[in-house]
């Protein structure tokens, strides 16, 4: 049994290693090419690299963790300089900072950020009072109001039942959390929230918006569709909520504490000009045009700097541009360069030819790729010539 597991692991390691090597060849002619809704090929090396972010650290019971390097910190335990009272702009809040946490002073009203925030990843930690007072909605109640209007409930539900759609981490009045994963009162609880606002265009809903919430690392809202601003007793109505709004924390009469509050703005969705996911045909065509133009520009630079004896780099770059967008001028230049390269190959001695084996095989494979996806015709003379060379030397078999 153990031997079988070992062999299975070995096979998996070897095959994943092979896949990795293939993915790292750096060839532009590899995965399925762009299509009407995807401007990049599969495994496309022209697709931008993800930005570097240094991860933060997790919080412990006594110490808040560090935010990731690109986070915008709203409260780090020292002061309320980024916050104000909810009664208008520039009104100082009466909430207080004590032992690295901000604390709601009952009766003082909501607190809100001076900044307005739209789509974001939000991290908030809160603690209900250690001294247990009240029950149901009366125990350790506060709330995190996304875009100022959608309440993710804050409530001490540790041994404290209440109506399900009013539990801690519920979208208040709309959707209960998937689990009650609370720690005892007095301990800090973490909310990690992904918020996407609704998008409306000309009165039509393009995207309802969503909220995902992890409570102490446990998934409790799973991409829950938004139903507009939340409220008490009344059914929420779906509708636009604006581009951005302040983050508001509720005063519900309990001295709930907060610490370690930060967020990371999220990139636009495909429906609003973002480039992740399947795009509209129009957006895809525009992006493909842009990539092709960059590659043609690269090819022009290579033409200016490369040795005349080596037409291949420019030719490959132009062929790569044709993967994204047909272009007669680029195609014409490819034909000229094919001719130049073809003559060169013909003049190579046997030793020189052997030294070019990998390059020749690569170019032949590029032709196969281009032809397979109808990006170039199969009838290229150079393709035929390369195939002959490869067959004569039996390079495919060795």
Which spans of this chain sit near Mg ion (rule: CB under 5 A)? 141, 143, 250, 252
* Token digits of residue 232: 């008490």
Shortest Å, Cβ 130 to Mg ion: 19
CB 32 within 8 A of CB 42: yes
Nearer to Mg ion, 143 or 209 (CB): 143
Burial of 20 (0-12, 13-18, 19+ CB in 10 A): exposed
Q: Which residue is nearest to Mg ion (CB)?
A: 143
Nearer to Mg ion, 141 or 284 (CB): 141
Nearer to Mg ion, 113 or 284 (CB): 113
Nearer to Mg ion, 162 or 250 (CB): 250
Nearer to Mg ion, 248 or 296 (CB): 248
Shortest Å, Cβ 175 to Mg ion: 15
Q: Mind giving me the DSSP string for 345-358? A: HHH--HHHHHHTHH
Taking CA atoms, 16 is separated from 19, 29, 42, 97, 368, in Å, by: 5, 20, 18, 52, 25
Shortest Å, Cβ 12 to Mg ion: 49
Nearer to Mg ion, 33 or 185 (CB): 185
Shortest Å, Cβ 76 to Mg ion: 24
SS3 breakdown of the chain: % helix, strand, coil, rounded to 5?
A: 30, 20, 50
Edge-to-edge order in the sheet of strand 83-85: 83-85, 111-113, 248-249, 142-146, 150-154
Taking CA atoms, 370 is separated from 145, 161, 323, 342, 377, in Å, by: 53, 64, 8, 18, 8
């Amino acid at each position: 049994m153990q031997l079988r597991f070992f062999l299975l692991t070995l096979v998996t390691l070897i095959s994943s290693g092979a896949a990795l090597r293939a993915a790292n060849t750096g060839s532009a002619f590899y995965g399925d090419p762009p299509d009407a809704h995807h401007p990049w090929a599969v495994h496309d090396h022209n697709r931008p690299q993800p930005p570097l972010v240094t991860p933060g650290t997790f919080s412990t019971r006594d110490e808040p963790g560090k935010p990731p390097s690109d986070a915008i910190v709203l409260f780090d335990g020292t002061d309320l300089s980024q916050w104000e009272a909810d009664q208008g702009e520039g009104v100082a809040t009466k909430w207080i900072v004590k032992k690295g946490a901000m604390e709601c002073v009952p009766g003082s009203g909501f607190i809100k950020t001076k900044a307005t925030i739209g789509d974001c990843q939000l991290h908030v930690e809160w603690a209900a009072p250690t001294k247990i007072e009240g029950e149901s909605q009366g125990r350790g109640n506060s709330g995190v109001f996304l875009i100022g209007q959608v309440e993710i409930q804050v409530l001490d539900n540790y041994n404290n039942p209440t109506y399900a759609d009013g539990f801690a981490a519920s979208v208040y009045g709309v959707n209960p959390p998937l689990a009650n994963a609370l720690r005892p009162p007095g301990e800090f609880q973490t909310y990690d929230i992904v918020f996407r606002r609704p998008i409306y265009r000309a009165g039509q809903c393009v995207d309802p918006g969503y909220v995902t919430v992890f409570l102490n690392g446990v998934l409790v809202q799973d991409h829950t569709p938004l139903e507009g601003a939340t409220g008490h007793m009344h059914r929420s109505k779906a509708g636009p909520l604006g581009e951005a709004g302040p983050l508001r924390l509720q005063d519900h009469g309990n001295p709930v504490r907060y610490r370690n509050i930060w967020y990371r703005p999220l990139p636009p969705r495909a429906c609003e000009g973002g480039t992740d996911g399947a795009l509209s045909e129009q957006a895809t065509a525009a992006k493909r045009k842009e990539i092709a133009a960059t590659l043609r520009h690269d090819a022009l630079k290579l033409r200016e700097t490369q040795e005349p004896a080596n037409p291949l780099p420019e030719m490959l770059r132009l062929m790569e541009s044709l993967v994204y967008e047909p272009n007669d001028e680029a195609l014409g230049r490819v034909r000229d360069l094919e001719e130049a390269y073809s003559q060169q190959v013909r003049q190579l001695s046997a030793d020189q030819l052997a030294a070019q084996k990998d390059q020749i095989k690569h170019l032949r494979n590029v032709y196969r790729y281009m032809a397979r996806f109808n990006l170039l015709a199969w009838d290229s003379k150079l393709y035929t010539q390369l195939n002959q060379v490869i067959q004569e030397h039996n390079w495919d078999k060795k």
